[in-house]
Amino acid sequence: MSEPNFASMRTAMVESQLRTSDVSDVHVIEAMSHVPREAFVPAERQAMAYIDRPVPLAGGRSLNPPLATGRLLTEAAVKRGEKVLLVGAASGYTAAVLSEMGAHVTALEEAPIMAANDFLSNVSIVNGPLNAGHAAGAPYDVIIIDGAIEEVPSALVEQLADGGRLTAGVIDKGMSRLAMGRKIHGAFGMQHIADIDMAALPGFARPKTFVF
């Protein structure tokens, strides 16, 4: 059996999954064209690295589909030199893409599943509860929650700089929806943009309410 041609698979991902689906930021496309997704999944799943579905990792976690990553980063409009907190860094793929875009990345993960490779050399990796963020590095210009959650914790909003942006997948009525919010003079609100397939992140359940 022939070895997978990852370069060709990466090109196909860009042309058929990203460019055709509102991933319009040229910096996102260039970075995702360069960073090898296959380096961030288990060896036995490298052939799945570029499919348009989540790729299973260790500990029940998954790498988001390429389109989810591309849309999260496009809506965040990350600029070179900005401070970015990546929540739920998983194996480190999105952190590597952000680094390739010239961002100063703090990659937060609570599970020891981040891959060690050269593409993470300019990324600060921190461990801790995802829903608590990393206050020691705040304020951040951008916070990217790399997965689908039920609710954005107030702790993360507090770590945004004024004018800062936050992107995430928000679970609404069983569907994950791409959402973007901006903090203006202390106020924060989220806007749902599009339905999108995204891997769920643990630790972000909406508090249960009593029904009388």
Tell whether the torsion through CA atoms of 15, 27, 31 and 98 is positive or negative: negative
User: Picking from 35-39, 64-68, 111-115, 189-193, which range would have the lowest pLDDT averaged per residue?
Assistant: 111-115
**Cβ atoms 108, 50 nearer than 8 A:** no
**pLDDT of 1 strictly over 50:** no
Q: Which domains does the chain have, with CATH numbers?
A: 6-195 (3.40.50.150)
Residue type for position 12 = A
Q: What is the mean pLDDT of residues 163-187?
A: 94
Place of tokens 């791409």: 178
- For 188-205, the pLDDT digits (tens) are 999 999 999 999 998 887
Lookup: tokens for 165 = 């942006």
Beta bridge partners of residue 84, listed in sequence order = 105, 142
Burial 152-175 (b: 16+ CB within 10 A, else e): bbeebbebbeeebbbbbbbbeeee
**pLDDT of 89 strictly over 50:** yes
Q: What is the mean pLDDT of residues 58-73?
A: 93
Predicted confidence band of residue 206 (pLDDT cuts 50, 70, 90): confident
Q: Which residue has the higher pLDDT, 75 or 58?
A: 75
Q: Give the model's pLDDT for residue 116.
A: 63
Lookup: tokens for 132 = 């608590």
> Quick one: what percent of the chain has pLDDT higher than 90?
83
